[in-house]
Amino acid sequence: MARRILDPKLLAKIATAQRKTEKYVGESVSKLAHKRGVSSEAALVYLAKQSDIGTANYQRKPCALRSGVRLRPSRPRSELP
């Protein structure tokens, strides 16, 4: 049996908020994590923030996850306001 890295409760909340299946959200998390170069857990928290789901509990997790939660902007710094 595969090890579950993503929090099932948070995954279910995001799926409900986006009206998608948990499988679809999991795949979206994987794509975002690869695109941004962060862990899947950090990408899951980022998607939760986008869906207006509270993430304070996850931002108090160990240092490695916390640093990944502060995702880099997708645009280069020169284009930011």
Q: Which residue has the higher pLDDT, 62 or 75?
A: 62
Q: What average pLDDT does the segment 43-72 reach? A: 72
CA–CA separation, 27 and 66 (whole Å):
22
Which distant-in-sequence residues (6+ apart) come within 8 Å of 21 by Cβ? 15
Residue 4's pLDDT is what?
A: 67
* C-alpha R_g of the chain: 13
Longest CA–CA span in the chain (Å) reads 47
Q: What are the structure tokens assigned to 54, written together?
A: 């509270």
Q: What average pLDDT does the segment 20-25 reach? A: 94
